[in-house]
Amino acid sequence: MNPLQEFLFHPTDRKMPLDQSPLEALPQWGHWLQTPDCLVAIIPPGHLEVNLRSPLNLVVTSFGITQGVAAFDSDRLQPYQAFPGGFDIVPQGSTYCSVEEASCFVVFGYSQAFLSRIVADEQKLELLPGQISKTHWGLNAAIAMQEFFNNGQAGGAFYLESIATAVLGQIIYRKSTRSNQFKRPPEFLEPRLLKTTLDYIQANLSQPLSLNEIAIAVGLSPYHFARAFRSTTGFSPYQYVLHCRIERAQQLLQDQERSISEIALEAGFGDQSHMTTVFRRVLQTTPNQYRTAKLDLV
């Protein structure tokens, strides 16, 4: 079963009346991808009127300049600007009101369970409403999500979870009730933890791995694990898992008795179509072409 659900909405207008009570559900605007704990949406540019009490922890970053008036958890609208790479933070249960001319923007929506996983302890954590000034990683995150949508969600829920986790970790570090207590990620994984990680990935490669599951196996939060793993190996966890799956598929394709669909499942791609997409993007060939070329060399 695909853990990603996709929705594409084409509303006739994008207005939530400001003279009524705040809407307590996200407006159905734009292109959404959703997992049980996380939502990412790309909203096209245009005029917006927003009056929302957020059902999720929302983090918003844009591709261009947005201007208008807005209020974060307040009744008083004030002049508002958002710049590429900056962030608007709307915690779950807080309100956001605005009248704005918006550029294309990306919305990350997090459940409270996702938020709690990032710090991997029992202390209470809440995001703080407001804005964060533009950063290079903010715009990079938006671009990564745009490419993810445009490339048919190659990488699936694992990739989406990885980007969403990296963004949320930065937000917690800068604008949350734990900002002064959020530990910096370890510089590197200890050799023992690295071995545990690599063994766990190899043992579960045919399963739908997630960043959270791997982090739990080594006793770290997803955010801290992902940062330390990249520092140690030069790869993000998603990139490394993808490399391992391609390598395993290449080995299995040399066995003519196995069908390509069986190999796709055993290598953890989910189905033949996904494996073919990855082979084309990474190796510039298809699984069948790769198998034929290898057999020609024998």
35 lies in the same domain as 141: yes
Q: Among 139, 174, 209, identify where a domain stops.
A: 174
159 plus 197 within the same structural domain: no
Pairing of strands 57-62, 105-110: antiparallel
Residue 168 Cα distances to 116, 135, 176, angstroms? 11, 14, 10
Phi, psi (deg, nearest 5) at residue 88:
-105, 135
Q: Last residue of a domain, which of 147, 174, 201? A: 174
Same domain, 163 and 231: no
Q: Find out whether 143 and 105 touch, Cβ atoms under 8 Å.
A: no
Residues 137 and 73 grouped into a single domain: yes
pTM score, whole prediction? 0.83
Q: Is residue 179 part of a domain?
A: no
Q: Does residue 63 form part of some domain? A: yes
Which two structure tokens, joined as six digits, stand for 20? Answer: 């009524």
Q: What are phi and psi of 132, to 5 degrees?
A: -120, 135
In angstroms, rounded to a whole number, what is the distance separating the alpha carbons of residues 108 and 279?
Answer: 29
Instruction: Let me know whether 118 and 202 are in one domain.
Output: no
Q: For 127-162, what is each residue's pLDDT tens digit?
A: 999 999 888 888 888 888 888 888 776 678 888 888
**Domain range enclosing 289:** 184-298
Q: 62 pairs with which residues across the strands?
A: 105
Q: How many domains does the chain have?
A: 2
* Beta strands 78-82 and 66-72, pairing class: antiparallel
Do 133 and 208 fall into the same domain? no
Coarse DSSP helix, strand, coil percentages of the chain, rounded to the nearest 5 percent? 40, 20, 35
Asked, for residue 98, whether it belongs to a domain, the answer is yes
Q: Decide which of 174, 205, 222 is a domain's last residue.
A: 174
Same domain, 144 and 113: yes
Residue pair 223/168 in contact (Cβ under 8 Å)? The answer is yes
Going residue by residue through the chain, which has 298 residues, state the pLDDT in tens, using 9 for 90 and above: 457 788 999 888 899 989 899 999 999 999 999 988 899 999 999 999 999 999 999 999 999 999 999 999 998 999 999 999 999 999 999 999 999 999 999 999 999 988 888 776 667 889 999 999 888 888 888 888 888 888 776 678 888 888 899 899 889 888 998 887 766 666 788 889 999 999 999 999 998 888 999 999 988 888 888 888 988 998 889 999 999 999 999 999 988 889 999 999 999 988 898 899 889 988 999 999 999 887 766 5
Q: Are residues 142 and 241 both part of a single domain?
A: no
Which run of H or of E encompasses 194?
helix 191-203
The 3-state DSSP class for residue 31 equals strand
249-261 pLDDT per residue, tens: 999 998 888 999 9
Burial of 98 (0-12, 13-18, 19+ CB in 10 A): buried
Q: Are residue 235 and residue 122 in the same domain, yes or no?
A: no
**CATH (domain of 10):** 2.60.120.10
74: its two tokens: 């307040």
Q: Quick one: 22 and 78 in the same domain?
A: yes
User: What is the domain-level CATH number for residue 191?
Assistant: 1.10.10.60
**Are both 169 and 188 inside the same structural domain?**
no
